[in-house]
Amino acid sequence: MPENKKQGRCAPLSVSQNFLTSAVTINNILKQTTIGKDDHVLEIGPGKGHITRALLRRSGRVTAVELDGGLARALRDKFAGETNLRLVHLDFLKYRLPDEGGYKVFASIPFNRTTAILRKLTECRNPPEEMWLVVEEGAAKRFLGRPAENLRSLLLKPYFDMDIAYYLPGTVFHPKPKVDAVLLHLKKKQMPDISGGDRQAYRQFIEAGLSGGGQNLRRLFTPKQLTHILKSYGCPTQFTPAQLLYVQWLCLFRCRRDTIQR
């Protein structure tokens, strides 16, 4: 089922309208970033424009994509004459990201669209150099592979360094959401751990390896190979996929790829 759909319908916009209005909080979280006057920043879901205003002060130019018609109209009025701002009234999932050139993303995004938004940003042809996304704390931990690696964390880690840059209690939002939020930071790796040519094979390896409780992973290697690899890379000999760390998955993938190529 598509991430944003429940019983075939998109979740209503109203379920994710938690606005960050405090200028102090917004400035505190912006201080965690590298955003400066040379940067083009993409904001997803500007809402009432509190973050947009702070981004305009700090960056070179801002593109803000808002789905809600009423908010988009109010933003046009609020920022009339602002030449460094491009406002787009559109579903971000349908927005065409820049094909080339560097850009950064800073956004307090709708929690119910987190995975779809992150996939769009990280799986496109020209991902942002850096992203700071206000997301639900639980979701951020899953992307970081805490407490255990999972499909999403393992597909992100070859290409992005990730960390939690700031913790935001629910009380800083209006209305207060049911969960706490964090500022998730992703930085594109200059040298990805997986080359473009291996991307598809890596994805298939991870998908196969995570299913079947470790049996599928074992079937990809001879028992001798597996014993050797597990020992060399410090993996437990009786493992479940959830016990393996990202670096161990990476080593297993490389061994498998080299065996096939030999």
Binding residue ranges for S-adenosyl-L-methionine? 18, 20, 45, 66, 91, 108
Q: Which residues pair with 4 in a beta bridge?
A: none
Task: Give residue 255's Cα distance to chain centre.
Answer: 28
Q: Look at residues 92, 117, 97, 103 and name the one whose alpha carbon lies nearest to residue 40.
A: 103
* All residues at 6 or more sequence positions from 97 whose CB lies less than 8 Å from its CB, including other chains: 42, 120, 121, 124, 125, 126
The strand ranges marked E within the chain are 5-6, 9-10, 19-20, 40-44, 61-66, 85-89, 104-108, 130-136, 160-168, 173-174, 181-188
Q: Which stretch binds ligand SAM (CB under 6 A): 34-42, 106-114, 141-149, 216-224?
A: 106-114
Which span sits near ligand SAM by CB under 6 A: 16-24, 154-162, 219-227, 254-262?
16-24
C-beta closer to ligand SAM: residue 68 or 193: 68
How many residues bind ligand SAM, per CB under 6 A? 24
Q: Per rule CB under 6 A, is residue 55 in the interface with ligand SAM?
A: no
Contacts of 152 (CB under 8 A, 6+ apart): 115, 142, 143
Answer yes or no whether residue 82 interacts with ligand SAM by CB under 6 A. Answer: no
Smallest distance, ligand SAM to C-beta of residue 123, A: 16
Residue closer to ligand SAM (CB basis): 46 or 127? 46
Tokens of 152: 């999403």
From the list 3, 11, 19, 162, which residue makes contact with ligand SAM (rule: CB under 6 A)? 19
Nearer to ligand SAM, 74 or 220 (CB): 74
Residue 51 near ligand SAM by CB under 6 A: yes
Q: Which of 79, 92, 103, 166 binds ligand SAM (CB under 6 A)?
A: 92
Comparison of 54 and 210: residue with beta carbon closer to ligand SAM? 54
Question: Does the protein bind ligand SAM through residue 172 (CB under 6 A)?
Answer: no
Among positions 141-160, residues that touch ligand SAM (CB under 6 A) are: none
- Name the 3-class secondary structure at 133: strand
What residues form DSSP beta bridges with 184? Answer: 133, 164
Closer of 113 and 157 to ligand SAM (Cβ): 113
Q: 153: Cβ–Cβ under 8 A, 6 or more apart, which residues?
A: 142, 143, 144, 145, 246
Q: Which member of 50, 76, 120, 152 binds ligand SAM (CB under 6 A)? A: 50
Hey, which residues does 162 pair with through a beta bridge? Answer: 186
Under DSSP, the state recorded for 178 is: S
**Rounded Cα gap, residues 124 and 186, in angstroms:** 15
Task: Give the residues lining the site for ligand SAM (CB under 6 A).
Answer: 13, 16-20, 44-48, 50-51, 65-68, 71, 91-93, 108, 110, 113
